[in-house]
Structure 1
């Protein structure tokens, strides 16, 4: 009975930030894609902090900008945590499989 490898998904369908040309020409590694996504999460957090500081300093009069930036940062961080939880759950499930 032959054992076939799992066919990889197209990275452009899994990660919306990765373009098809980049995948075909450069084939970024998992670490590169992970680092890019973590940088985006960090940028959202920094943007929320800066917007809050500008609001407190009186440079921004519109509270909506501050709230939108804070919610974007919160949602991106929650998404990263949920992805981490799913990865850990999958690892634990695989490690419990009998050989």
Structure 2
């Protein structure tokens, strides 16, 4: 991965970044729900003509709206990956902190 593609995050910023991404996930999830609900049109008169018209509208809108829904789903996947990476980063920072604490404790116990 090229150096310019890396995001450097201070350990103290990880929890706030994670909260921000989780908030964005909640927002995107709501937009996905709305997109899925609004894509379909119900036959309004309950007769064969409106059923046929609704089927035609749904076929057209699924192609147009599907692209928007696919974009939202792809964005959601990226947000989810970011949260997972922040979790891994937090674990790594915690591991380093634990190692440093253990090293300092061992040094003190050894009398150095």
Fold similarity call, TM over 0.5 = yes
Q: Is the 8 A contact 1:51 1:69 kept in 2?
A: no
Aligned to 2:26: 42
Tell me the TM-score normalised to structure 2 length: 0.50
Distance 1:41 1:82 in 2: 14
Structure 2: gaps of 5 or more residues? 1-7, 42-57, 105-112
Deviations 1:27-81 (A, max 9, x none): xx987665444222210122122212322x2478111011011111111111111
- Alignment length, in residue pairs? 72
Q: How does 1:71-86 map to 2 (within 5 A)?
A: 71-86=74-89
Structure 1: gaps of 5 or more residues? 1-12, 15-28
Which structure carries more relative contact order (alpha carbon 8 Å, separation 6+)? 2
Q: Is the 8 A contact 1:48 1:69 kept in 2?
A: yes
Higher helix share: 2
- Whichever of the two has the greater Rg, that structure is 2
Tell me the TM-score normalised to structure 1 length: 0.55
